[in-house]
Chain A
Amino acid sequence: MNGNILPFLLLTVVLIVAILGTGGYYFWRLRKSARAGWEDLLKRLIAIDHSGVDTVALDAIEPSGKRRTDGLARELDPDRIWELLGGLEGVQRLEANSRVLVDMAAYLQRSYPEAAAVAEELRLQAIELEWHVGWLRMAAEQGSLEFHINAYAQNAAIAYYLMEQRLQVLCQRTNVPTFRPLQETH
């Protein structure tokens, strides 16, 4: 038999199993992502706890989207914000939504090659957002959240509030049936 054959075989088997496992998983993920339609992705994107997000967002901004400058602005304390956003589970949902945004960018890139620039802009934004929300989740898991809760969580809530609100207005104007479930939730 050849020299050093056992460690070689052991490591090679580990490599082959890792390649097949990882390759299989990501192949399945790419296929699943490729099957999703635009409207399915939009539905997944907006499936979050609206009332809590709205409360947290409207603590810092006006319904129009402008920053509040009155004396009562940003009066929610970190614990309350954390509670309204649904705690760690809520943050995980925000993280999942970031992932949906990444999938939306991939959909646009795949379906409309002429809009590659738009898709790439959205993709880069979604990747950056995913990084921020992931960081917030890690802070929560490590117990250092009180230093970051106002900054990260409230801004995330503001953005989701604005995004939903504007999407809803757009859908009302264009009478798109896809968004009726969204309207019913408010």
Chain B
Amino acid sequence: MPLTNFDLLLWVAGFLGHLALLLILLLRRRARMFPVFTTLIVLNVTRTIVLFLINREGTKATYFYTFWSFAFADVALQFGVVYELASKVFRPLGEWASDIRTRLAVWVACSIGFALLLTWIPHPQSRFWMQVILLKGSFFSAALMSELFVGMMALSSIAGLSWSSHVAKIAQGLALYSVATLVFETANTSFGLTGNDRIYGQLSRLRMVLYLCCVMYWIVSLWRNAPPARRMPELVRRQVSVISQALDYRLDALRSEEEP
């Protein structure tokens, strides 16, 4: 597929955006908090440079395999970021919250199951068998990622686990991008790849624009500092202690009534 000027513009914008984001992650010391997310951004910077050089000097086949190798690594790292964010939300004391483990595992299993079912149903038209795998793989990862983000949001709200400022910002950007990708991949799977790749190209450009918006959002959000940590006032500490003692009393009573 020949590259247009707009494609080149998106390429340059993506490279500069990722570079700026990487600098912010390093300069504002967010990289230590989000090592997997930082690795994802490093991968994107590296990908742009490598693909640019191959596009100028290499063969079509080299470009194809390098492009999709980076795409696989990108998807794997995106799932790594989901894990990184989940571990920050659902491990308030360094361990997975006891009330959440089972529900989270069930949600992940159901999400994989439903995404697999949806991926298995269609038979997209294509010229090569590899294109079918690429279409189905892209759809599966987009569906799973969207399901995981919405599940994380729901479970954290139900369980009363809050999101710190930067975790929430990264999650919001990635969740929005995942849902949009799910819509685009649904269209790609429906239309297939039959030689006229105009629709595929337009959707890819649209997705790139949206992703650039997410990168801009991350740049601004991660540049800003999170609200400063406060010490719990003595009065609040005592109020919590009173509530906690009263709850203990009630729960002990409820547990004893449940025993046979």
Query: Does A170 lie within 8 Å of B238, measured CB to CB?
Result: yes
| B127 contacts chain A at the CB level, 8 A cutoff | no
In the complex, the answer to whether B243 meets A34 with C-beta atoms within 8 Å is no
**Per-residue contact bits, chain A 75-114, to B (CB 8 Å; 1 contact, 0 not):** 0000000000000000000000000011111111111111
Which of B117, B239, B244 neighbours the largest number of chain A CB atoms within 10 Å of its CB? B239
Instruction: Give the total of B residues in contact with A, Cβ under 8 Å.
Output: 60
Contact A117 B242 (CB under 8 A): no
**In angstroms, how far is the closest chain A Cβ from the Cβ of B106?**
16
Q: How far is the CB of A10 from chain B (nearest CB, A)?
A: 10
Q: Write out the residue numbers on chain B whose beta carbons fall within 8 Å of the beta carbon of A103.
A: 160
A120 at the interface (CB under 8 A from B): yes
The secondary-structure label for the interface of chain A is: helix
**Size of interface on A: residues with Cβ below 8 Å to B:** 70
B254 at the interface (CB under 8 A from A): yes
Q: A156, B250: Cβ atoms under 8 Å? A: yes
- Interchain CA distance A15-B123 in the complex, whole Å: 19
Q: Tell yes or no: B245 within 8 A of A by CB.
A: yes
Using known A-B contacts A26-B154, A116-B92, determine if residue A110 contacts B162 with beta carbons closer than 8 Å.
yes
Asked whether, in the complex, the Cβ of A16 is within 8 Å of the Cβ of B122, the reply is: no
CB neighbours of B6 from chain A (8 A): none
Distance from A41 Cβ to chain B, minimum over Cβ atoms (Å): 10
Are A112 and B160 in contact, CB atoms less than 8 angstroms apart? no
Evaluate contact between A118 and B232: CB separation under 8 angstroms: yes
Mask, B140-180, CB within 8 Å of A = 1, is 00010011011001101101111110000000000100010
Whether A2 contacts B124 in the complex (CB less than 8 A), given A30-B153, A126-B247, A166-B246, comes out as yes
Give the docked Cα–Cα distance between A92 and B231 (Å).
Answer: 34
B97 within 8 A of A: yes
15 A–B pairs (Cβ distance < 8 Å), ordered by A = A2-B125, A3-B123, A5-B122, A11-B118, A16-B182, A16-B183, A23-B149, A38-B236, A102-B160, A112-B229, A125-B248, A128-B251, A163-B242, A167-B239, A176-B235
